Amino acid sequence: MRRIAPALLLLCLPLGGCQHWQSVLNARGPAASTLAHMFWIFVSVLATVWVLTMIALLLALRRRRPEDADPLATNPTTERRMTITISVAIGLTLLTVISLTGLSYAAQKVLFAHKDGALTLLVTGQQWWWKITYEDSQPNRVFTTANEIHIPVGEPVLIKLESSDVIHSFWVPSLTGKMDAITGRQNQIQIQADRPGIYRGQCAEYCGLQHAHMGLIVVAESKEDFERWREQQISSAIPPGDEERQRGMEIFMSKPCIMCHQIRGTDAGGKIAPDLTHVGSRRYIAAGTLETTRGNIAAWIVDPHGVKPGVNMPTIQLEPDEVQPLASYLEGLK
C-alpha cells in the first residue's frame, strides 16, 4: 500500500493537463459537449462492467471446490441457478452493447446536424499552417488571415476544409471533433462556442516534419468585438508612421518576402504564405509556435529553420541593421 499510493498519485498527475485550452474534457461548444458526454457515459458504463467482472473473478478465485467433491456430479438446483446467471449475464451484455451503439448513432446525428449560420469560413491546411478565408456575399468584404479564427459567441460557424498539399485534420478539442482536410475535395464541419475564450486547435493528421507545430487558435468573443475585429481585418495595412518602420517596409518590399507573402495595401501580393496584412494583431506567429513579439518576429526571420526545421520559409540574406526595422514594421501591422 505504501508503494501503490504514490504511484496512483503520479498516475493522476496527467489529469491536470485536462483543464487547459486544448482539451476534449474542457468542452465549450455543443458538439464538444456531446462528445464529452459520450466519453463520460462510455467510461462509467465500461468501468462498472470491468469492476463487476473483476469482483466476480476474485470471488471465483477465492471460493475453492470442496476437497472430496466429485467433479462429474450434477445437482439440478445448482444447474438451474447457473443457467439463470449465465442468461442474465448474456442479456445484460447484449443490452449494454446495443444501447451504447444506439447512443453513438444518436450522438452522430447531433454532431453532424447543420444549423444555419451567418458565417462561413474556408480553412485551407498547408504545410505547416492554416490559411483562413472569411467568406462574404460582397467580394470586397472577403479577407484572408492565418492561424487565428475569431468567432462570435453562441453562433454556429460553418467551416469548409480544403488542403493544398497533403491530408491535414482540423481539430479544436474544446469546440468540436476532428475533420480531415483532403486534397481535391471539400469537407465541412460546424463549430460553435458557448462561452467567450481562446481555444487552441491542432492538426490531427500527421502531415510531415512540422506537423506538431501546426496549431491554430480560435478566439470566441462577443458579437460587437467580433464585428470590430472583422472590420479591422478587412481594412488594408496601415502605412508605417515613423522612420524606422518606413525603412522596414522598404526592406520588406526589396527582399524575397514579397514572392510569397501578401500585405494588402502595398505591392506585396504573394499568396502562397500567410497573409501579413495584420500580422501584428495576431497572438502567435509560425502557426501557434511563437508569441507575436518583435524579438520573436526577428528570430523567426533570421532563422526560421532553427524554430521549425524543414519549414517552407527560406533563410534570406539580411544585413544585421536590417533585422530591427523589418521586425518593428511587421510588429506594427496591427
Partner 1 sequence: MRQLLILSLSVLALAACEREDREYRANPVTSETEEKIALSPLSAGPSGPTEQRSGLGQQYEENAYHIAQGKRLYIWFNCNGCHAHGGGDSGPPLLDDRWIYGGQIENIVQTIREGRPNGMPSFRGKVPDDQIWQIAAYVRSMGRNVPKPAAPGRNDDMHPGPAEQRRPPGEVMDGGQIPPAAQMPQ
Binding footprint of partner 1 on the chain (CB under 8 A)? 165-166, 183-184, 254-256, 258-260, 272, 302-303, 305-306, 309-312, 314-318
Tally the C-alpha atoms within 13 A of residue 79's C-alpha that lie toward its C-beta: 5
Q: What type of residue is 5?
A: A
Query: Would the CA dihedral through 103, 106, 107, 108 be positive or negative?
Result: positive
User: Least distance to partner 1 from the beta carbon of 262, Å?
Assistant: 13
Angle at 306 between CA 305 and CA 309, to 5 degrees: 45
Nearer to partner 1, 210 or 277 (CB): 210
User: Least distance to partner 1 from the beta carbon of 309, Å?
Assistant: 5
User: Least distance to partner 1 from the beta carbon of 306, Å?
Assistant: 7
User: Least distance to partner 1 from the beta carbon of 303, Å?
Assistant: 7
Nearer to partner 1, 53 or 164 (CB): 164
Nearer to partner 1, 120 or 312 (CB): 312
Rounded CA-CA distance 59/55 in Å is 6
Could you count the other beta carbons within 10 Å of the beta carbon of residue 236?
11
Rounded CA-CA distance 9/283 in Å is 36
Nearer to partner 1, 150 or 261 (CB): 261
DSSP string, 21-59: SS-TTS--SHHHHHHHHHHHHHHHHHHHHHHHHHHHHHH
Bridge partner list, 133: 122, 144
Nearer to partner 1, 108 or 315 (CB): 315
Tell me if the bond preceding 128 is cis, omega within 30° of 0. Answer: yes
User: Least distance to partner 1 from the beta carbon of 313, Å?
Assistant: 10
User: Least distance to partner 1 from the beta carbon of 291, Å?
Assistant: 23
Q: Are 307 and 299 in contact (CB under 8 A)?
A: yes
User: Least distance to partner 1 from the beta carbon of 277, Å?
Assistant: 20
Nearer to partner 1, 34 or 126 (CB): 126
Beta-carbon contacts of residue 119 (< 8 Å; ≥ 6 apart): 134, 151, 152, 155, 157, 158
| Cell of residue 281, nine digits | 494583431
User: Least distance to partner 1 from the beta carbon of 203, Å?
Assistant: 17
Rounded CA-CA distance 229/234 in Å is 9
User: Least distance to partner 1 from the beta carbon of 315, Å?
Assistant: 5
Q: Are 65 and 54 in contact (CB under 8 A)?
A: no
Bridge partner list, 134: 121, 143
